[in-house]
Structures are given as structure tokens and as C-alpha cells.
Structure 1
């Protein structure tokens, strides 16, 4: 199950009741995590598909050259991100009206329709399919981490949400190797089977998720926040497989209720105006919103989209020759991401936390990009020390790309998703996450469309820019990002009463910081009352 390895290492998980780690929770995790494949397969295969002769012929690219070819390829690759930016925003109203569960189902269907349209050998239909599929990708990228965070026990919440990212990098790797495999086919350029095989793989996870989601319970937090407390408690007991009066269930339930009461006392209702006021006028919410948006910006400014979509072209800049060779190197790049993300999910996120791995990983990414910039700037060209046509410095550059993947996978790859899913109060969570993922996808769109021109016009400067921005992100994270590991979602209200720039002083929680203070006091009072009552009964009996 998600975070299964974490159960062996996390002290918090070891102290939790064993019943909460059960088959129903595993089924929920697998179902919702399929959405990670939507983005992973597309970002992994489109860069390679764009280089296939059969694809170029089917969509009229073989007759183009120079800037027009770069522009056309950029439009095709970026159209999914354009749809995803809109989908992320549209997921907010559906999440708060249809509920988390049926929103996931709806946008999964939208993705399947878009993916099917991409199988048609027509340029305009392809663009429409990528935009519609992008709507599903963007919406699911917001809904899936939210759904996983709202249902998971807090001791494995990081691992739970990170499994969504694990599915992204796993499908990314699979797509890379599928591209490599189809590139070896001895087929005529007029045969569309080659590119359709690579493109069609993304239909599988979409269909599986839509078939499985009807059997997943709605999140207790959504139900309680919308006045259905009894149903929320019922779903909570189903997910935890514990009775309603168990102390674990009661603590979690009371925290959710306390946060809902606090929100309703400040401002009642779930209308747009009430939510906007909550975000802008409540200082703690404003801080959380700013932090999450900045994390997503720095997540994109590392240059990962340029590598994901155009890895074959970037390997070519390092001197790697041959389309099949660059696709194979791209596959190895994806494999490094998968192995490292497995380590992050299984060990780091719920034992070490979100903050330290992010800082270390980002430093590795920034340094790797800096090397690429320096090497490409001063590369001497081919020499006697070339390996298989690739210069020695280019071989080192390939190693640095693999190091970049290593740092990415336990740094920016996951942290922004996990943090955004766990820091917001329930009433504003959908809106805040929708905006965060809108920022994520609109920047993705810009970077994806601009990368071919950036590589041809700026060259080495592209990698230097990414390096400097990533170093700047490290500074921001150090001062402003507190550690979320072990804290309940509702206890974030207490944490963000402090100014954001002082978070580094309070980064790591004490035991009393892991549960809302008001709920702690209430639970202690109930325990004390129980002790007094038991004492009176004993005295009366004697």
C-alpha cells in the first residue's frame, strides 16, 4: 500500500492502530493514483513521438523546416498544458459541488475522450484532442492529490500523495522506452501504427480509473464541511476500519469539526465571495496561498518540462548521435526518476519530511543545470576522447542529467503537490489548489511552447537561467517552508499564525504541534472528566 515501506520507518505510523492500513485504503490509493499516468504518459511520449518519421508525415511536419517546424512542434506539445491550465480552474467548482469523488470520475472521462481524439491523423483534431485531454489532466492533477490527502492517515499522508507523483514518473519512464521500442520498428513512414502505439498507451489508465472510482467512498472532510457530519463520520470509520468511538477516529473527526466551526464562525457559507474573503482577509490563509503558489513557480523554473518534453533534443546538444540512442538515454533518465521517487515515497517523505529533501534535491538540480550551461557554452566539439561519437564532456553532461533526475525526484517533483494538498482548510482547499495548478500548467504551457526556440536562440543560456532560478528557490524554501511531516491537516491553522519569513525558526514540529490546540484541550478535558467520574463511581461503590 502507499507508504507501505514508510510503515517500517515512520515512528508515527508505528504508533498508529494497524487497522487504519487496510485493503479499502489501498484500493482508494490505486484508483486515484492512476490519474498520475495521464500527465506522465503524455509528457514522456510526445517529445519522442514528434521525432518519429511516421508522425511527421501524418501531420504534415516532414515538409516544414527551421522556425516553422519548431513552432508547430511547440504548439502540439504545449496544447495539452493549455488545456490543463483551464482544467485546473474548472476542477474547483466541480470539486465543491459534485464532490471530490464524482469530480475525479467526470474529468477522467474528459481525459479519455481527448486521448481517443489524439489517435486521429488530422492536425486540427490532434490539437483539439490534446486540449480536451489536457482539461482532464489539469483537473486530475488538482483533484487527485486533494482526494488522497483528505483520505489518508496523517502518518503516511506524504507517501500517499507522493504515489500520485510516482505514477507520473513511472508512466514517464514507460513512455520513454515505448518511444525507443517503436523507433526501432522497420516500418514505412506512411504506416501510422508506429506513432499510434506510443500515443494510445495513455488510454489504459484513464479507462481503469473511470471503472474503479464509483466504488471509492467520498472524502469525510468534504462531507463534514458540507453539513453531512454523520455520513462523514461513517465514511471515516469505513476508511479507518475502527469504531466511531475509537480515540483515533474521534481525534481526527473532532479536528475536522473544529476547523469547520472555526470557518463558519468567521464567515458562513461556501459561496465564491466567502471563499475569496477567507483567502485574502485571513492572514494565515494568505500566507499558505502565497507559499503554495511560490512552490509551484519554483517547481516549474527548474526546467523539468524542457527536459521531459525535449530530452532527445537536449541529449543531442551534448553530442549524442542517432534518434534511437537519444531515446534510449531518455529512457534511462526516466528510470532514474522512478527509482529515486520510490525511495522518496517509501522512506524520505514521512520519515525525513518534505523540507530537507527539497533543499538537497534542488541544490543538485541547480548544479546539474549549471554544468550543462557551462559545457554547452565551451564545448570544443568532437575529439579523440569521444565515446560512441559523444565527447567526454558530453558523457559527463549525460551523468549530470541523470543526477538532475535524482535530485528532482525527491525535491521539486513531489513537494509542491504534497504541501498544497495538506496546508489549506477544507473550505478553501479546492480554490487554492485550483489556482496553484493553474499556475503550474500555464507556466508549463509557456515553457513547453518556448523551449524549441529557447534551445535554438539562447542555447546554453537556457540552462543557466534554470540554474539561477533553482538556486533562488532554495533560499525561499529555507526561510519560508516549515516541515509538514506528522502534523494533522487541521493543525496547519495554528502553524500559519506566524509570519511566513519566520517559518525557518519553527520548521520542525514538537509533539504538541501535531494536533490542533483547541482539540487537544478538549480531548484532555474529556479524559480528565472521565477520570473524575470513574473516581466518584469507585468512591460510591466503596
Structure 2
């Protein structure tokens, strides 16, 4: 029988190593995912608010015109994220993981502030520009956060702590209930404002303003609660500071055999890196491109994000009202409520994945089960839309077949949250030697945002062109 809470250690490890300090550093770093998750979740339902459409003259647009504007609003963010992930590499390499994370938080807050300047007179320009700038910050954070967490984590809990980052991203409850913000709030906030704030500028602007809360908290938390990566400090020749930070995070003295052994391992790895890879800013990239086995491994692991986005998750994250309308859910509030339930299921199953699955059942097995269950669920929804055509036969309540389709949608959510939700990030954080880990993490983050961009850009058009009611979209996913 699997012992779910048993730690699998690669060497004898003092209990003091699993202390509040390592969890504190990891959790505060993982709150980067709160701003990432919120920004990914709130925008689709914000665009669907009648007050937003009225403010920017979207009520008179044709479905094709509205689809183009929606994809522009969403995809400018992914474009910024892609280039931010690229910039995260030099920031983390030259300035350190901690300073890189702080800069990403400040850039995000700047972008969020720019969005608040949008109104009917100025048009959508501030939203486009602000989302590009915010995306730069988020892209850098998506690169540096899992790298930082993997560098400070003891091997036995590395998967769980990196998983906390992805839980923070997709459901944004990183380990503790009081952090139930981010994506979960992003899915519910527009339901709340539609119920409790009168239609108008304040109604649609409130979700945009809330972005500043997670970004500001992340920026404030970094200087006070995060220690610079000991591995980065030691590799930069800052030996005294590196050992001091390692002792703090491990809660052990410098003379403890565990600390002596870990520092020795880092030194050996650094010497190996210099011998095998060379020195210089581009040395890890050259080594990656010229080392066949590592390069092939990078192609496989980075393309896990192609498979992750190919499940349809970001089509749902960004265009959930369109998704539920295609199944037959009618009414703005009902659609927003259904989206909120989706967020809750993803949160709960994401926590199950983090605590009970990721470190106990094998990464490959998890992905195989998730892909199989998710594909069968999407097939069932496609058949329902093709046969019943709910968009051509609207009703005030879902028929039995429609309820069955909603069941399969939530079943798909469960399979996704317990598999592809976070496993690709964990695999990428642990699959490479230290010689190339930072550059492969950069490539992984860029791959994520590239496929994120492709899906977010294509989804509105796919629903217009892939079969009546969009049944072909579900078959594709």
C-alpha cells in the first residue's frame, strides 16, 4: 500500500530540514502564481460582462468582430508573458533569483495600473498596453519561481513544493486555505460584481483593480520572507552568504554534516559545470544545443506544455462564458456561476494532486491517466453538442443530456487538475542537471506561453468555424 505521507529521501536527512523556513520561502515565492492565476482567470468573464461591452461599444459588434477583439485582449497578455519568460533568464542569472522575482512583481504592478486608465473615451488601448506590460512581469515570474523553489527544496519534498506553485497558479490555494485567492477569485469575482455592483464603469473596472492586490503582496513579501538561493550565491562566489542562507533554510548549523555534504555537492556540481559547460552567459545554452541526449530531453519535456494546452484548459480559462454557452448554459449570471464551480473543482483536485498524487504514482502514469480520462470526457461533450445542438434549441434549463454533458465537463476538470495541471512544471524542474537547469526552465516557461498564446488566439475563431455550436472544438481537444 502506498504510504502517501512518507518522504522518499536520497540520503539520511535530519528532521530539522523539513522546517517552516523552507516552506515559508517556497510559499511566498509560489504566491507569484496568485497574480498569474488571477490574471489568467478574470479576463474572460470580464469581457463577457454587459457593462464592459457597453463601455467599449462591443454590444453592436458582429460575433466575428467580437471574437477578434476578445482574442486581442487575451493574447496580448500571452505575448508579453512569452518575452517576459525570455527576459527572466538574464534577470535570474545576473541579478539573482530574489531580485529577478522582485522586478517581475513591480513590472506586473505597473501593467495592472496602466489598465485602470481605460474607459470609453480612451478605448481599449490602455488595456492592451497594460496587459503586455503585466505579461512581461508574469512571464519572468513563471520562469524564475519554479527554478527558485527547486533550488531551495530538499529532494524529498521538491515535487510537493514546486507543485504548490502550480496549485497557486491554477487554483491559487498554495498549501494554506487563507491563500484562497488568485485563479479561484478570478473565476468568481465577476459573478460577485454582477450581483452586487450596479452595471457601469465601477462594475467592470473592479476586477481589473483587484490585480494590484496579489501583485502588491508579492512585491512586499519578497524582501522580508525570501532568502536568495544558496546555490546561486555559491555559484557566484558569494560563499559566506550562500552558506548562511543554506543554514537558515535548512535550520542547521554550518558544522552539521548535512550542510557540509550539501555545500560539497554544490561545489562539485559547480566545478563539473565549469569543466563540462564552460563559463560565460551563453555557456549553458551552447551546452544544451550541442549535447544530444539533453537536447532531446528538453524537446520532450518542453512540449509537455503543448499537450497541456492541447487539453483545452486555457480555452476554458480565458473564454469560459463561450464554453458554457456552447453546452447550453444561458444567462450571464448562470454562466459566471458555472465558471466559479469549475474553479472550485480545479482547486480541490489540484490540492489532491499536490498532497496525494504527484510524489507517489509516477509522473508518466499520472499524465497517461489524465490524458485518457480527459479525452473521453471531451469526446462525450462533442457528441452531445453535435447531436442535440443546444445553441440552435435554447432552453431556460439544461435537458438531461445537457446535464450529462456538464457532468463530463466537470469530470474532465477533475482529470486535468489531477494530472496536467502541474505535472509538466514538476517534470521540467527536476529533469535536468544544474548545468542547464536555468536555461531549460526558461525554455519551458516560453513553451508554456507560446502554446498559451496559440490557444487563446485561436479559440474564438475555432468556435465560429469548427461545427455548429463548436462541437469540433471539443473533438479537437
Instruction: Say whether 1:48 aligns with 2:45.
Output: yes
Structure 2 counterpart of 1:454? 462
- The 1:383–1:299 alpha-carbon spacing in structure 2 relative to 1, beyond 3 Å, is closer
Select 2:191's aligned residue among 180, 184, 188: 180
Structure 2 counterpart of 1:486? none
Structure 2 counterpart of 1:58? 55
| Correspondence list, 1:196-215, <5 A | 196-215=205-224
| SS of structure 1 residue aligned to 2:422 | helix
For residues 248-295 of structure 1, the C-alpha deviation after alignment (integer angstroms, 9 at most, x for no partner) is 3233323322222212112321321x2222102223421331222121
For residues 32-59 of structure 1, the C-alpha deviation after alignment (integer angstroms, 9 at most, x for no partner) is 1111012211221111101112111222
Q: CA deviation at 1:214?
A: 1.4
* Unaligned segments of structure 1, at least 5 residues: 1-5, 467-542
- The 1:389–1:267 alpha-carbon spacing in structure 2 relative to 1, beyond 3 Å, is closer
- The 1:84–1:180 alpha-carbon spacing in structure 2 relative to 1, beyond 3 Å, is same
Q: Is the 8 A contact 1:299 1:412 kept in 2?
A: yes
| Correspondence list, 1:258-337, <5 A | 258-272=268-282, 274-337=283-346
TM-score (norm 1): 0.80
Select 2:93's aligned residue among 96, 106, 110: 96
Higher mean C-alpha deviation, range 88-97 or range 23-32: 23-32
Q: 2: distance between equivalents of 1:245 and 1:418?
A: 32
Count of residues in correspondence between the two structures: 457
Q: 1: distance between equivalents of 2:279 and 2:299?
A: 23
Select 1:439's aligned residue among 428, 431, 447: 447
Q: Is the 8 A contact 1:74 1:452 kept in 2?
A: yes
For residues 364-423 of structure 1, the C-alpha deviation after alignment (integer angstroms, 9 at most, x for no partner) is 211111112222112254999x99521222211111111111111121110111111222
Q: Is the 8 A contact 2:84 2:137 kept in 1?
A: yes
| SS of structure 2 residue aligned to 1:218 | coil
Q: 2: distance between equivalents of 1:312 and 1:14?
A: 50
- The 1:142–1:117 alpha-carbon spacing in structure 2 relative to 1, beyond 3 Å, is same
Structure 1 counterpart of 2:433? 425
| Correspondence list, 1:31-42, <5 A | 31-42=28-39
Select 1:74's aligned residue among 64, 71, 74: 71
TM-score (norm 2): 0.91
Q: CA deviation at 1:15?
A: 6.4
Instruction: Say whether 1:341 aligns with 2:350.
Output: yes
Q: Is the 8 A contact 1:77 1:309 kept in 2?
A: yes
Q: Which has the larger radius of gyration?
A: 1
For residues 421-441 of structure 1, the C-alpha deviation after alignment (integer angstroms, 9 at most, x for no partner) is 222233422222112211211
| SS of structure 2 residue aligned to 1:351 | coil
Q: Is the 8 A contact 1:221 1:426 kept in 2?
A: no
Q: CA deviation at 1:163?
A: 0.8
- The 1:356–1:251 alpha-carbon spacing in structure 2 relative to 1, beyond 3 Å, is farther
For residues 319-363 of structure 1, the C-alpha deviation after alignment (integer angstroms, 9 at most, x for no partner) is 111111111111111100100111111221223343322221222
Q: Is the 8 A contact 2:4 2:360 kept in 1?
A: no
Structure 2 counterpart of 1:364? 373
Q: 2: distance between equivalents of 1:26 and 1:149?
A: 12
Higher mean C-alpha deviation, range 219-228 or range 135-144: 219-228
Q: CA deviation at 1:152?
A: 0.8
- The 1:250–1:350 alpha-carbon spacing in structure 2 relative to 1, beyond 3 Å, is farther
- The 1:313–1:104 alpha-carbon spacing in structure 2 relative to 1, beyond 3 Å, is same
| SS of structure 2 residue aligned to 1:350 | coil
Q: 1: distance between equivalents of 2:232 and 2:289?
A: 22
Instruction: Say whether 1:160 aligns with 2:169.
Output: no
Structure 1 counterpart of 2:235? 225
Q: CA deviation at 1:18?
A: 1.9
Q: 1: distance between equivalents of 2:212 and 2:203?
A: 16
Structure 1 counterpart of 2:420? 412
For residues 301-333 of structure 1, the C-alpha deviation after alignment (integer angstroms, 9 at most, x for no partner) is 111111111111111111111111111111111
Structure 1 counterpart of 2:20? 23
Q: CA deviation at 1:183?
A: 1.7
For residues 204-233 of structure 1, the C-alpha deviation after alignment (integer angstroms, 9 at most, x for no partner) is 111111111113211112122223344322
* Unaligned segments of structure 2, at least 5 residues: 173-181
- The 1:363–1:248 alpha-carbon spacing in structure 2 relative to 1, beyond 3 Å, is farther
Higher mean C-alpha deviation, range 389-398 or range 329-338: 389-398
Select 2:409's aligned residue among 397, 401, 406: 401
